[in-house]
Structure 1
């Protein structure tokens, strides 16, 4: 199913022309054509000091009416559409660069509609370089076969990618959600695509158990890993009541060595951006932060409620003294209303 609430968090290296203490935000964010920037996933643009981003927007009122686009930005706030990558049901895209100058794109693709239910699969593409990405000319693509659900598998995120010089030699790790039955809840899966040919997947029961024990027995959506304060973390969208979009929350999980901190519910309320009670679907990347430069925090979210309902974007510097204290990491995202 399409999870229509989005949070994207990226830890970014400071751009040379940015003021160190500058914090900027944007609400009601769209691209230059007026498309919603839902599920915005960004990577550095190899053509300069800007960014490339992939995202989706609704194209109609049907359950599979979505399109995936590509846009460029100089400041992570204003985005100009430069290509349409899938106009027939694509949604929840994620982009990653490869060591040889190419790009990997993965997204949820609605392949058909059965009795008003959109059936989705995961699609993965490789683009050899930036020019081919802008022309939407891929070198190879694969629609992954259903392994855990006949109904929906989607919201992919890249895990470890061993490129080995070419798509045919690659090993691409993916996390994703799957729907546990036509009217069931969403659960977590993990899989590997080898050589763009062989796909294997399994349930991530441990992650589902952790989220359920934390008070989220309903659907578990998109997840992402990132590092902050010298420790790995995961943000996961999770739901308290099945079918109730007002009960989506973001759960921060400590993924470091034991002992681990207890799960914490967080929100999209970066300083300067209003918080919302219902928000989720994280995507995370860490770029450039080192011992001398703590990097920047970029937040993109789609909220169902509150003063920032809709898409909002925020960017700003990370604290120079940020450590692995879970309270401080959670504070980067603000506090949500009780799940209730």
Structure 2
């Protein structure tokens, strides 16, 4: 097995490393120890992850002489709200976590976002380490410092930028994922090729069907995705411009997640996959890219067994006008104008605010 890969995120005083490889949870004590002012951490995880990964993490910390207490929250997107944020913060205070201490977020994107936000506001900022256990979290949400919770008005509307002190992406943990969860994370991997690296998308077309079974390919895909995101974050940490490109597919996807109640009807990465297909369809109808590009995106998603149309979401959805209204709560909205990440081709994304409302409704209608 190859050694862990390190992607450095050079953000001055907030710089950190993303470590990617097999066995990093078993080595977590040695990896985390240099960060600690005292040999003690607080771990926050969820009920799905805890039985699988909390015991080996505790054992690794104990071998390094590090004490650990753990809070186990319910699993699922519904956890990413005010109630469990309050529970998390109050528990950390009860554990007497100090500014120099470290909080560990063990889990997927929900736990990483929630715990990162709790760390950002606790005592005006404590350090935290991301230990992402899903493909989606490893390639996207654990890197870049976006933390937050959802609101009934929309996804991720309450939050803060708070960079982790370290990210430990153990790709062996991905072997415990259900096939649907692994594929949902793949939606974010494909996004990187679509938004800015046509060569990576070529590589994915050839190798992605083997990612789940081949650790070396998995490590390569995660490392490349993280390196792409890190480079964009360094250039635009607080999403004033270029970083918004990372939201390819998300304006559609977030609206669909809100429409399905942040439930298991639609996982985040599935929403991103559908959103990418819709974004390329809209781009072609606006004359920005050829018809070949959306066809290629659709064919790849189909080959991977991923959803690509609204009709593949279980249950009823609101009409086009209601979905567009949900898009109006997207964080990219500026001066009341919807802003979309669209494409001039595979690997060439750009931000546009001139999408005709009628054309947008037509794309949504035809995807049913």
Q: Same fold (TM over 0.5)?
A: no
TM-score w.r.t. length of structure 1: 0.27
Larger strand fraction of residues? 1
Larger helix fraction of residues? 2
The structure number with the bigger radius of gyration is 2
TM-score w.r.t. length of structure 2: 0.26
